[in-house]
């Protein structure tokens, strides 16, 4: 494996005062959206990390490849700490502009205060001593890592370190120390763009795996129990990144195509293949998964983005009259969001509990 001189810079979110939602904000107020609480016995700590890879050139803008990570972990105590926002103010502003263009029918800018959504992760909380399994997450194409917060917090609350990886360039928005990176995508990617996305994501994930030992939470990570999981394009990247990498003990693919490269036969480790019954790409998904050994599961009454935080947030927007039933069905399905969420958490959590015990 190519060696990398990768630089790490760990940062915490801002002051406690900046983490608290206000009754109204510059982004326009609207309903106060809530992420579902994690179900595990441990409170969750949170840190953000800036990572650069001088050995690679960013395929979208040139220069050194940069990544942003969120690391979630079991916390020893959260006393005196504040819950971190899902998005920084600058990220919330960019997301408010981006979301209704990518998913037509989502509220226009100013209708929702995206910056007021709080995670259940406590910024800078001390980690609970131990050696915990490590899960690395790649989001869907065009999504930022923040849209995977709910599932990641639940996994962390059951005794795991979860690393959410942003992929600047195709991600909707990523706030880097060098400035805000907005997506290069103006619509569904053509085959060449998608191939660049996948190749870049695979390299990003392998870079993160190379540098787990240098992350701020490395002392509580177990390098012998590592899993990858991802949604959509992130699921694609997770499976191919694991191929040939013996550090990875298990992989969960949440509705990602596996037909970009030769069939990843001989993956040689447990594989979860989880999809929804409402996704318009179901036929291609099934075709690309054909013949793969792995545990398959189907979410009824759900659609593609039910795996993300849209699964919790979009029904709240519908209840507030900001999203139609048609838009909700196209994004997350018509089923009870609590049932769908429980199904995702149970299947993904049980899979990694079994194979990374």
Which band of pLDDT confidence, cut at 50, 70 and 90, is reported for residue 262?
confident
What does pLDDT average to over the chain?
90
Euclidean distance between CA atoms 172 and 170, whole angstroms: 6
Which band of pLDDT confidence, cut at 50, 70 and 90, is reported for residue 308?
very high
Range with the lowest mean pLDDT among 66-75, 176-185, 257-266?
Answer: 257-266
pLDDT at 333 over 50: yes
DSSP state, 36?
Answer: P
Query: Six-digit token pair at 56?
Result: 């690679």
Range with the lowest mean pLDDT among 13-27, 182-196, 322-336, 339-353?
Answer: 13-27
pLDDT (average), residues 162-181: 96
- Of 139, 346, 333, residue with least CA distance to 236: 139
Euclidean distance between CA atoms 270 and 289, whole angstroms: 14
Residue 236 burial (CB count, 10 A)? 29
Range with the lowest mean pLDDT among 26-30, 107-111, 113-117, 132-136?
Answer: 26-30
Q: How big is the CA angle at 36 (ends 336 and 70), to the nearest 5 degrees?
A: 130
Q: What percent of the chain has pLDDT over 70?
A: 91
């Amino acid at each position: 494996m190519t060696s990398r001189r990768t630089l790490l810079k760990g940062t915490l979110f801002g002051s406690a005062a900046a983490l608290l939602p206000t009754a109204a904000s510059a982004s326009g107020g609207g309903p106060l959206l809530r992420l579902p609480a994690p179900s595990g016995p441990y409170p969750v700590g949170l840190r953000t990390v800036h990572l650069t890879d001088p050995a690679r050139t960013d395929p979208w803008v040139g220069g050194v490849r940069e990544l942003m990570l969120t690391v979630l972990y079991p916390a020893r105590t959260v006393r005196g700490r504040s819950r971190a926002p899902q998005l920084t103010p600058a990220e919330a502003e960019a997301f408010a502009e981006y979301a209704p263009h990518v998913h037509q029918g989502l509220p226009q800018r100013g209708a929702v205060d995206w910056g007021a959504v709080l995670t259940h992760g406590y910024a800078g909380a001390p980690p609970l001593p131990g050696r915990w399994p490590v899960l690395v997450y790649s989001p869907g194409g065009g999504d930022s890592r923040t849209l995977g917060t709910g599932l990641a917090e639940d996994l962390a609350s059951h005794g795991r370190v979860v690393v959410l990886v942003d992929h600047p360039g195709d991600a909707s928005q990523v706030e880097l120390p060098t400035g805000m990176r907005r997506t290069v995508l103006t619509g569904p990617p053509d085959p060449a763009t998608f191939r660049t996305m996948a190749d870049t994501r695979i390299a990003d994930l392998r870079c993160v795996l190379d540098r787990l030992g240098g992350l701020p939470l490395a002392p509580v990570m177990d390098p012998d129990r590592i899993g990858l999981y991802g949604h959509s394009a992130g699921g694609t990247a997770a499976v191919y990144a694991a191929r040939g990498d013996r550090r990875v003990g298990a992989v969960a693919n949440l509705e990602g195509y596996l037909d970009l490269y030769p069939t990843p036969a001989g993956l040689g480790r447990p594989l979860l293949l989880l999809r929804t019954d409402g996704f318009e790409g179901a036929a291609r998904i099934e075709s690309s998964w054909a013949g793969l050994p792995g545990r398959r599961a189907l979410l009824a009454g759900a659609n593609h983005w039910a795996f993300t935080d849209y699964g919790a947030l979009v029904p709240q927007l519908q209840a507030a009259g900001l999203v139609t039933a048609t838009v909700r069905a196209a994004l997350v399905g018509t089923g009870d969001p609590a049932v769908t969420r429980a199904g995702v958490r149970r299947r993904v959590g049980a899979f990694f509990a079994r194979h990374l015990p």
